[in-house]
Amino acid sequence: GEDVEQSLFLSVREGDSSVINCTYTDSSSTYLYWYKQEPGAGLQLLTYIFSNMDMKQDQRLTVLLNKKDKHLSLRIADTQTGDSAIYFCAETWAGNMLTFGGGTRLMVKP
Amino acid sequence: DVKVTQSSRYLVKRTGEKVFLECVQDMDHENMFWYRQDPGLGLRLIYFSYDVKMKEKGDIPEGYSVSREKKERFSLILESASTNQTSMYLCASRLTGGLGAFFGQGTRLTVV
């Protein structure tokens, strides 16, 4: 598979913005994804971006894609304690496979 | 809504036992996947299947086998469970060319 890398941990205060970063390697990825995993649960698709877009906004979430640098980021505005979770970025490769990063644990302090 | 259901949330098995983890999806997806999730290692692909009776090894297939006799069901088998297979196991399904993958709730397996 391809390599997808993320930092392991991020801590923010409630009400601040969170930015989770990811680098990937497959330049042919059609879609890139962000998944959220709450404690003890499976992964839930949070948002995605098509590879010909630079930015996508969905309420408090903003996804930025820099194809030249193969860098993807997820910004969460007005972070809440309910946003505490592990966030995975993922890319498609070989048309059908998904490769996941190692996950970033977001901790939101009251 | 797509539903991917794993048969157990928690399992405790003894070393050497044969263990079956079952996964069922209800959206007629061709592709199904088994991942294992360990702290600091993210999700690692064990096996995947792109059609009934078809299977491909992922990144860490050793010690595991799979079965896909029906389109909706994908089973992960630990032939002889070992303590290093203690982990969270996640099943997912995906439509070819579709958006993302849908995950089950996970099975936390402890081998003692």
CB of B5 within 8 Å of a chain A CB? The answer is no
Q: DSSP state, B34? A: E
pLDDT beyond 80 at A59: yes
pLDDT beyond 60 at A1: no
B18 CA: distance to closest CA in chain A (Å): 24
B32 chain-A contacts, CB cut-off 8 A: none
**Residues of A engaging B, defined by a Cβ cutoff of 8 Å:** 1, 8, 31, 33, 35, 40-45, 48, 88, 90, 95-98, 100-103
Cα–Cα distances in angstroms (integers) from residue B27 to residues A32, B24, B31, B71, in the given order: 22, 10, 11, 10
Q: What is the pLDDT of residues A33-54, one digit of tens each?
A: 999 999 888 899 999 999 889 9
Q: What is the pLDDT of residues B1-47, one digit of tens each?
A: 669 999 999 999 999 999 999 999 999 999 999 999 998 788 999 99
Cα–Cα distances in angstroms (integers) from residue A22 to residues A5, A33, B35, in the given order: 6, 10, 20
CB of B96 within 8 Å of a chain A CB? The answer is yes
B105 chain-A contacts, CB cut-off 8 A: 41-42
pLDDT confidence of residue A95:
64
Which carries the bigger pLDDT value, residue A26 or residue A54? A54
How far is the C-alpha of A76 from the C-alpha of A29, rounded, in Å?
A: 23
